[in-house]
Chain A
Amino acid sequence: DIQMTQSPSVLSASVGDRVTLNCKASQNINKYLNWYQQKLGEAPKLLIYNTNNLQTGIPSRFSGSGSGTDYTLTISSLQPEDVATYFCFQHNSWYTFGAGTKLELK
């Protein structure tokens, strides 16, 4: 099974900051990597699919990059509404989620 490791587990940042969240797969996942945002009490929402494709309706301050085993989600200018937990997810070989990064406001 492919394991997904996210870092950091908790991130505190200020409004306007550039924020980077990391995700590492236990083996090459061929860019089949998605990012989801989950706010408290809500279902996860797809932000980015296949590493760097922005889902319809998602603000352009979100972007993704990576290849092989290492992937990144970047928020170019943090907004208060971005407070949430972010999960990475691989769908190269079956389906596995990371443990999440909780993003807080400083």
Chain B
Amino acid sequence: QVKLLQSGAALVKPGDSVKMSCKASGYTFTDYIIHWVKQSHGKSLEWIGYINPYSGGTNYNEKFKSKATLTVDKSSSTAYMEFSRLTSEDSAIYYCARRRHFDYWGQGVMVTVSS
């Protein structure tokens, strides 16, 4: 069955970066794009961007273009998102999701930015 397994929670200091992972299983990794989504506490969902695991091509929400970097490792069927220059506004849960339909989601990574 399709699964997206994300890395564990992170506590980071303001100004630091965080890199999180999303390991895919149960399907051919390079067949579908992987999206990343932000959910701030008690709020709705924001699309950050997507990466095509086959080509490595990316597209970003303008709001996150200078903040997020998406990469993949095809050999391990894993997608990564690095979030840089963190502030308290970046404290949130970050999800990966598959395909245009966002049909399967990872369990989420809670990132807390605090000194």
Select one of B47, B105, B106 contacting A97, CB under 8 A: B47
Main DSSP-derived SS at the B contact region: loop
Contact A96 B47 (CB under 8 A): yes
Report the bound CA distance from A55 to B104 in whole Å: 11
Given contacts A55-B103, A91-B100, A91-B101, contact A43 B44 (CB under 8 A): no
Given contacts A43-B105, A43-B106, contact A95 B47 (CB under 8 A): yes
Q: What residues of B have a CB within 8 angstroms of the CB of A43 in the complex?
A: 95, 105-108
Interface size for A (C-beta < 8 A) is 19
Select one of A34, A44, A96 contacting B105, CB under 8 A: A44
**B73 on interface, CB distance cutoff 8 Å:** no
Q: What residues of B have a CB within 8 angstroms of the CB of A44 in the complex?
A: 45, 95, 97, 102, 105
Minimum CB–CB distance for A58 against chain B, Å: 11
Report the bound CA distance from A100 to B106 in whole Å: 20
Report the bound CA distance from A1 to B81 in whole Å: 24
20 A-B pairs (CB sep. < 8 Å): A36-B102, A42-B107, A43-B95, A43-B106, A43-B107, A43-B108, A44-B45, A46-B101, A49-B101, A55-B103, A87-B45, A89-B102, A91-B101, A91-B102, A94-B47, A95-B47, A97-B45, A97-B46, A97-B47, A99-B43
Residues of B within 8 A of A (CB): 35, 43-47, 61, 95, 97, 100-108
User: Known contacts A34-B102, A44-B105; can you find 5 more A-B pairs with CB under 8 A?
Assistant: A44-B45, A91-B100, A91-B101, A97-B46, A97-B47
